[in-house]
């Protein structure tokens, strides 16, 4: 029996075009920074993009947050002390506006609610490249922010990223659960499928598959509607002692 159910966000919990989201994200950030650092908005965003790209392969032993700011400081004429308060304000005030790009989906809230009703510990296992505030916004866009999430991965706490299996093992270490007793639900045939190498089961959500073709994956898979039927067949949660 599963002792935890893990969910990716974009393309899984949240139906959204990730490319459109990231384009608007950086456009809004540039405008926001331009108001506070005249003539420097675009250059600052470029430094943020460079540091974010470097953070994707973080294996330094540092949290993504610390690694990001160290990388930023090396690639910008500004530093963390100057920019961090401004970016926190951006994530609180401006980032939530990107939610207009989210597509309405009634199935994932039902799936999450059904699993919560059955008592399963629920984990948001998104790639921890965003701060927690941004991830809470993305969950709100998906209408699942109020679910009883036991853990929400974010760059403040995590030291590894998908598709590194160490990311999934870090989650298990934090929640004290054997990966063999976990189910990862995601739409990524690279990032999320990597949970298999950590010893988890993996369910591929096929509505918005990325990094491959659903037909090439022979494991658990199905649409969001199929997933709802699947979770309805799961027994009520019983903790393994």
Q: What is the pLDDT of residue 142?
A: 98
Q: Which CATH number fits domain 4-16+103-233: 3.40.50.1000, 3.30.470.20, 3.30.1280.10, 3.90.79.10?
A: 3.40.50.1000
For the segment 175-216, what is each residue's pLDDT rounded down to a tens digit?
999 999 999 999 999 999 999 999 999 999 999 999 999 999
**In the structure, what pLDDT confidence band is assigned to residue 8 with cuts at 50, 70 and 90?**
very high
The answer to whether the Cα torsion of 200, 203, 208, 210 is positive or negative is positive
* Distance of alpha carbon 103 from alpha carbon 165, whole angstroms: 30
SS3 assignment, position 62: coil
User: Which DSSP symbol is given to 81?
Assistant: H
Distances (CA, A) of 213 to 71, 125, 167, 204: 34, 22, 24, 11
Kindly report the average pLDDT of the chain as a whole number.
97
For the segment 14-69, what is each residue's pLDDT rounded down to a tens digit?
999 999 999 999 999 999 999 999 999 999 999 999 999 999 999 999 999 999 99
SS3 assignment, position 120: coil
SS3 assignment, position 16: coil
Q: What is the pLDDT of residue 111?
A: 98
Report H helices in 122-164. Answer: 132-141
pLDDT exceeds cutoff 90 at 240: no
The pTM (predicted TM-score) of the whole model is 0.96
pLDDT exceeds cutoff 80 at 241: no
Q: What angle do CA 200, 19, 94 make, to 5 degrees?
A: 100
Are 91 and 134 a contacting pair, CB within 8 Å? yes
Give the mean model confidence (pLDDT) for residues 228-232: 98
Q: Where are the domains of the chain?
A: 4-16+103-233, 19-99
Are 33 and 40 a contacting pair, CB within 8 Å? yes
Report the DSSP pairing between strands 149-152 and 220-222.
Answer: unpaired
**In the structure, what pLDDT confidence band is assigned to residue 122 with cuts at 50, 70 and 90?**
very high
């Amino acid at each position: 029996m599963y002792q935890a159910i893990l969910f990716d966000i974009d393309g899984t919990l949240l139906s959204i075009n990730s490319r459109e989201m990231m384009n608007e994200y950086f456009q809004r950030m540039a405008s926001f920074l331009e108001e506070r650092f005249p003539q420097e908005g675009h250059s600052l965003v470029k430094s943020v993009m460079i540091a974010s790209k470097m953070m994707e392969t973080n294996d330094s032993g540092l949290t993504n947050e610390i690694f990001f700011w160290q990388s930023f400081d090396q690639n910008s004429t500004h530093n963390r002390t100057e920019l961090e308060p401004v970016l926190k304000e951006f994530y609180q005030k401006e980032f939530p506006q990107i939610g207009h790009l989210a597509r309405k989906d009634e199935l994932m809230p039902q799936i999450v609610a059904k699993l919560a009703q059955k008592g399963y510990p629920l984990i948001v296992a998104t790639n921890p490249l965003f701060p927690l505030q941004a991830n809470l916004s993305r969950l709100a866009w998906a209408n699942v922010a109020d679910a009883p999430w036991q853990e929400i991965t974010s760059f403040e706490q995590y030291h590894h990223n998908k598709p590194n299996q160490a990311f999934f093992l870090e989650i298990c270490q934090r929640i004290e659960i054997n990966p063999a007793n976990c189910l990862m639900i995601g739409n990524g045939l690279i990032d999320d499928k990597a949970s298999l190498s950590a010893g988890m089961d993996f369910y591929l959500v096929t509505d918005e598959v990325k990094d491959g073709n659903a037909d090439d994956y022979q494991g658990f898979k199905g649409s969001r509607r199929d997933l709802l039927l699947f979770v309805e067949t799961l027994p009520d949660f019983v903790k393994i002692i």
